[in-house]
Structure 1
Amino acid sequence: MQDTPLAIGTRLREILLEELGLEPSEVTEDLSYGSIPEWDSVGHMHLVAALEESFEFNFADEEISTLTTLALIEQAVARHVAAAGNG
C-alpha cells in the first residue's frame, strides 16, 4: 500500500492523538515540542517510537531532536517513506 501525503498526515495525527492523549482540536499546525505538557521529552520518545513502528522505519539518532513541529515530523516521515519506496 502506498502512503500518499494525505494518508501520512492522517496517520500522523492519529498517532499524536493516541501517544500524547490529545483531543482532535488540539492537533493544530501550531503544535510543537514543549507547547503542551504532554509533549515533553518522554512524550517525544513515545511519539518517535510509535512513528517508527507505524511507518516501519527508524529515525537517525541526530534526526530525533529535529522533530519539533507537526510540519517537520510530516516532512521527515514522508522522506523516509519515499526512500523506502512506499510513497
Structure 2
Amino acid sequence: MTNKELYEAVFMDALDLVDRKALQGLEFQGHPNWDSVGHMQLISALEDAFDITIDPDDMIGLASYEKGQEIVRRYGIEL
C-alpha cells in the first residue's frame, strides 16, 4: 500500500466513509462524522499510521482532506 492509499484509508476508516469520492473537497464539519470527536480520531489515526506526532497548530489547521495532505508532507511523508 502506498502512502497515498494509506492516507485515503485512514480518512475512510476514521470518518466511517463508504465512498472514496467523498474525500475530494471533504472539509471539517462538512460531513456528519467529521465533528470535533471525529477530528481527534482522525488525528490519532494519522499519527498511528505514519508514526508521527502532529503539532497542535497543525491539528487545528487540518480543515480539509487536501490540507491534511500538505500537513502530512511537512512531517516527511511523501504522498
Shorter-chain TM-score range: 0.7 to 0.9
Task: Verify: 1:57 aligned to 2:52, yes or no.
Answer: yes
Larger Rg: 1
> CA contact under 8 A between 1:13 and 1:27: conserved in structure 2?
no
Q: Which deviations, in whole Å up to 9, do the C-alpha atoms of 1:33-65 show, x marking residues without a partner?
A: 000110000000000000001101111112101
Residue-pair matches, total: 78
Map 1:5-44 → 2, pairs under 5 A: 7-44=2-39
Q: 1:17 to 1:50 in 2, by over 3 A?
A: same
- Normalized against structure 1, the TM-score is what? 0.79
Percent sequence identity over matched residues?
25
Deviates more, 1:24-33 or 1:67-76: 24-33
Structure 2 gap segments, 5+ residues each: none
1:69 aligns with 2:78: no
User: Which 4+ runs in 1 deviate beyond 6 A?
Assistant: none
**How far 1:12 moved relative to its partner?**
1.2
TM-score scaled by length of structure 2: 0.86
